[in-house]
Structures are given as structure tokens and as C-alpha cells.
Chains A and B, each alone.
Chain A
Amino acid sequence: MSSKTENTGCKNKERSNNFIDTIQESYWGPIIKRLFKHKLALLGIILLSVLILVAFLAPIIATHDPFKMDVTSFSAAPSINHYLGTDSVGRDILSRLIYASRVSLLVGIGSVLLNVIVGVTLGGLAGYIGGWVDSIVMRITEMILSFPPLMIILVLVSFLGPGLFNVILVLGLLGWPRICRLIRAEIMRIKQSEYIMAANAIGTPSYKILIFHLLPNAFPSVLVAATFGAARAIILEASLSFLGMGVQPPTASWGNLLSDAQSMGVLGSMPWIWIPPGVMIVIAVLSINFVGDGLRDALDPKMRS
């Protein structure tokens, strides 16, 4: 790794028209370069792009209506008509898989967005103001972190009523403490640095210091945490749907497609029903985690030569 990043610093003094040289001038240039050099991260980016494309183009790609029941074939094995077979009520598995990718991506993006909004706001305030605001926010995060995530999520979702929106809401409102603590720690660290003192000295208002100086510097670590958070949210949604507490049929989600396999009959003799959704969850989550891993390495200042 270190040998490859030698020439990414500010070594090249003469400006050339070369694209690679131009992006090296910026802050993000070397980071993107390092990210693409990380083999697993590159693989993750490719798989994830394909997945996003599939989710967007679902109506075009899907061979069947995901809700339509084919009365001529129940629990049919893969064939020419149904590439991945049909489920117990005759719906096309492949089309349901394709549409289910929308659910997972929506959960990943939606809940992490909520996490970031709540976490950055509270963490920013706690770190910047300190004092009693900080202690209250920290006690709240400790309380939330004390409940095993799946248990408290299960309870809340079952009370609010299962469904896509409630799953996103619950995951979003319970997942922010990690990001909050991260932001707080970063801001407390950066607050001590000289350029913040300088900004204070020239009379920059506090909110400007927080928004323009502190938060952008904490951004890289939030980006990494949010990426891993999205992967975790997708797994949690799949787990909830698997247990029958998440996205409800007939809407397809990879988790609820798998829940049929809780019966030994389906598990043993109809692998086409439960293996594909499982594989899709693994691919989606793994590729997001690869990207997160690559981002962490690429953003780590220690890795810069």
C-alpha cells in the first residue's frame, strides 16, 4: 500500500493537463484514488452500483409482476418460464427478488439518513457546548446502547405495527448513538486546535465555527460510520422481516422471502425459494462493508504518505 501512494502527495510541482494530476491537487482526489486501489472496496463499489441499477430499473428487468400468482405452478422449481422458480402461492421468485432490492436499499439509506441527522445534531451540540448538555446527551446514548439492539427494535416495531416505514423509523431513531459519540469525540478533539482558537480570536460566531470548521472535519469519520450503519440496517431489516416483524407480505423483502424456510419442508426440498434471497442479502451487505472498509483506510490520515 505505502509504496503505491508515494506519488500522491504534493510532489509534482509542475502542473500538467493530465487528469490524474489534476485530481491529486484536491482533498478528495487522493482519497478516491486510494479507494479504487483497495481491491475489495472496488469490488464493493461495482456490486453496489449493479444493485442500485437493478433497484431503479426493477419494472424493466423483472420478468413477471411480483404480486401476480401463476395458478399453473405453485412452488415450482426453476424453469424456462420462471428462472428461479415460484413460491408457495405461485409468484415469480426472481421478480420478487428484484423488487425486494428496493426495500433493502430504502431501509439502508433512509435509516442511516435519520441516524446521521439526529447523531450529528446531538453529537455536535454535546461536543461543542459541553457541560450539562454533554452529560445529558451522553447518558441518553448510554441508555440506548444498553438495550441489545434487536430486542428493543423488535419490541418497538411490534408495538408501532410492522411495515417498511416503521422499520426505517425505529432503526433510524435507535441507531444514532454511535454517530453521536463519534462526532462528539471528534469535535472535542478539534476544538483544542489552533485554527479554532484563531477563528475564535477574530470573533467568528459559534454557529459558524461549528458548521464551517468543526463539522466538515468530523465528516470523514461520519461517512465511514454511516456506511457501516447502512449495512447493519439492511441486516436488521432482513432479520425483522425474517421473524415476521418487518416488511409484510405481499411486499417482497429479502428477509421475508427467507422466512418460508423456517418450515423444514421448504428448507429441505425447495432450496430455490430461500437460497437466492439469502445470497442477495450477503452480496448487498458485504459490498457495503467492503466500501466502508476501503473508505476507512482511504480516509485515515495515517495512511497518507
Chain B
Amino acid sequence: MIPVLIGITFINFAIVNLAPGSAVDLMIDPNMSEADKEIRRENLGLNDPFLVRYFSWIRELLRGNMGYSFTTYKPVRQRVFERLGPTIYLMGTAIILAYIIAIPLGILSALKPYSWLDYLTSFMGLSGVSIPTFFSGLVLIYVFSLKLGWLPSGGIRSLGGTSGIIDSLRHLILPVTILAFANVGLVLRLIRSSTLEILQQDYIRTAWSKGLSQRMVVMHHVLRNSLIPIVTMAGMQVPVLISGAVITEQVFQWPGMGLLTIQAILSRDYPTIMALNLLAAILVLIGTLVADILYVVIDPRIQYQ
């Protein structure tokens, strides 16, 4: 965990340093002579060896200083953290919705493998991962915003006017639908395969032979066990969700981390890019860690040595 974290900061720093163009080019007067530019670089510490610059970056990072944006000159920390909320709001709602849909469908299709329901859910799951979010997003905007005019085409709330809960929910519906649909498939497949495996277990045979009803077997013996892999899944899904959010936020102009990423990349705003990458990677690590811990808490059969 710690070596990986150090590696992540190192890769992050290295990538941005390999980037073409220099930070100085943006900060200095184009009329400056080459010698003056050199002095400026020297003063800013940009001529120091790579590792020296890396450690000074880490030192500042640990103090909570992520630098200043090249485009807005605001502190990057403030810029990035004000985008964290909207992204978590969007991703959280989407993932909860995805689980609500996927868990019952996954278990039902495992109970009757190769039935029409099983084919339908596996078709649905595969479409979820096969339809690019930008296309489904555009289709939904086209139908529900432009043609029917029922829902807003983007943003997190209406400019001016009413901005109550109803307004916020109306803005949430389309992007959440897209993100949830894209994630249902993965969860569904996982639940289905874990349920299929559990149905073969001896304790399920015992439960059937005791004469329990299907309802009892499924609710008490299958459900709780088949939910275990979901915990790991939730941790693994963080990177997928963040990636999905990049596109979805762009399509719906949702003011989250994803939209900021695109803006920062287009304007070559390196400090912001580095902070966003780092934050995303840390979110992923936290997700994995929480999943590991929950895994042990939920399943008493697993123990850390």
C-alpha cells in the first residue's frame, strides 16, 4: 500500500515532467531574453535535478500545498476539492442505483441459468459495458431534453430561479441513469457467478433437504453469501466510475472532477492535472483498502495472518 502510494506520486510527477513545454513559458514575458529566462528558471528551481524537484514537490504536498493553477492562479487544492463533492454525489447515487438493480436480477438469473431472464440480463449487462457513455448520454439528451423537453440537458442546477431539491434531482436523473446503466453489467455478472457457485455448496443442499422453501433458501442462505464479492467489487469499481465520470461530466457539463480534468488537460494546466491524478489514485487506494477491511469483517472465514 505505502510503496504503491509512493510509486503513484513518482509516476505522476514523472509523467508531468516529461510533458512538452515548460511551466516558465506561461509565466514569463515573451520579450524576455534567453539569459533572463534562464535566471528565472534557476530561481524557480526548475534546473535542479529530477529527484530534488520530486522531493520538494512531495514536501509541499505533505503540507497541503498543491501549487497554483496555471490558468486561474487559484490554489489547486481549493479548485480540486470544490469539484470532489459533485463527483462523489454523482458517482455515489449511480453506484447505489446500480446495486439496487443488479442484486435481485443477478440472483434471479443465477437461480434459472440459461432461461430467458438469464439471457436478457446478460444481454443487458453486455450492452451496459458496450454502449459508450457519451453516445447514450447524447441519445438521452436528444430524447428527453431536446425533443420532449422534460429534463435539463446539463449542469448540476438551474442558473438563477428555483434551485430546490426537485431542481437538483431533475439535473441528476440523466447522468445517473447513464452511469448506473454502465455499471449494472459488471455487478450483475459478478453476482450471477458468485450465486451460481454458492448454489453448489453443501450448506445449500442441506438447506434444500431440510425442506426449506425457495424463499428461505435464497433470502437466508444464498443472498448473504453472494453479497461478499460485491464488497471487493465496490473497491475495484472506483477507477471505472471515475473514468466513466470524466465522459459523463463532459457530456452533461457536470461541474465535477472529470470536467475539470478535461479543462485542465486542454489548457495544459499541469499543477491541476497532477493534483487530479493523485486524488483519483488515492480514492482508488482508499476504495481497495476499505474493501479489504470490509471483506474480513463480513466474511469470518477469511483472516489476515
Q: How far is the CA of A293 from the CA of B129 in the complex (A)?
A: 12
Which of B4, B20, B135 gathers the greatest number of chain A CB atoms within 10 Å?
A: B135
Contact between chains at B11 and A143 (CB < 8 Å): yes
From known contacts A146-B284, A267-B146, A271-B142, infer whether A258 and B135 are also in contact, taking CB-CB under 8 Å: yes
Closest residue to B262 on the A side, CB-wise?
A: A243
- As a 0/1 sequence over residues 152 to 169 of chain A, the CB contacts with chain B under 8 angstroms (1 = contact) are 101110110000000000
Q: How far is the CA of A1 from the CA of B11 in the complex (A)?
A: 48
Q: For B114, list chain A residues within 8 Å (CB).
A: 1
Q: Which 7 A-B pairs have the closest CB atoms?
A: A150-B243, A278-B135, A148-B242, A286-B130, A285-B130, A148-B239, A143-B7
Q: How far is the CA of A184 from the CA of B138 in the complex (A)?
A: 40
Q: How far is the CA of A86 from the CA of B146 in the complex (A)?
A: 22
Q: How far is the CA of A155 from the CA of B142 in the complex (A)?
A: 30
Q: Separation in Å of the B69 CB from the closest CB of chain A?
A: 16
Task: Give the interface size bracket for A toward B.
Answer: 35 or more
Closest residue to A161 on the B side, CB-wise?
A: B20
Known A39-B119, A139-B4, A293-B126; 7 more pairs at CB < 8 Å: A40-B119, A146-B281, A149-B243, A150-B243, A154-B246, A278-B132, A286-B130
Contact between chains at A289 and B130 (CB < 8 Å): yes
Which of B113, B251, B281 gathers the greatest number of chain A CB atoms within 10 Å?
A: B281
Contact between chains at A146 and B130 (CB < 8 Å): no
Q: Which of these binds chain B: A10-18, A117-125, A195-203, A234-242?
A: A234-242
Q: How far is the CA of A244 from the CA of B266 in the complex (A)?
A: 9
Which of A151, A154, A158, A268 gathers the greatest number of chain B CB atoms within 10 Å?
A: A151
Contact between chains at B138 and A267 (CB < 8 Å): yes
Interface of A (DSSP majority class): helix
Closest residue to A268 on the B side, CB-wise?
A: B146
Contact between chains at B239 and A245 (CB < 8 Å): no
Q: For A99, list chain B residues within 8 Å (CB).
A: none
Q: Tell me whether A128 is interfacial, beta carbon within 8 Å.
A: no
Q: How far is the CA of A132 from the CA of B280 in the complex (A)?
A: 28
Closest residue to A44 on the B side, CB-wise?
A: B126
Q: Can you pick out 5 interface pairs between chain A and chain B where the beta carbons lie within 8 Å of each other?
A: A143-B7, A147-B11, A150-B247, A154-B261, A238-B134
Contact between chains at B134 and A239 (CB < 8 Å): yes
Q: For B130, list chain A residues within 8 Å (CB).
A: 231, 235, 282, 285-286, 289
Contact between chains at A147 and B265 (CB < 8 Å): no
Contact between chains at A148 and B284 (CB < 8 Å): yes
Contact between chains at B15 and A146 (CB < 8 Å): no
Q: For B15, list chain A residues within 8 Å (CB).
A: 152, 155-156, 159
- As a 0/1 sequence over residues 2 to 22 of chain B, the CB contacts with chain A under 8 angstroms (1 = contact) are 011001100100011011100
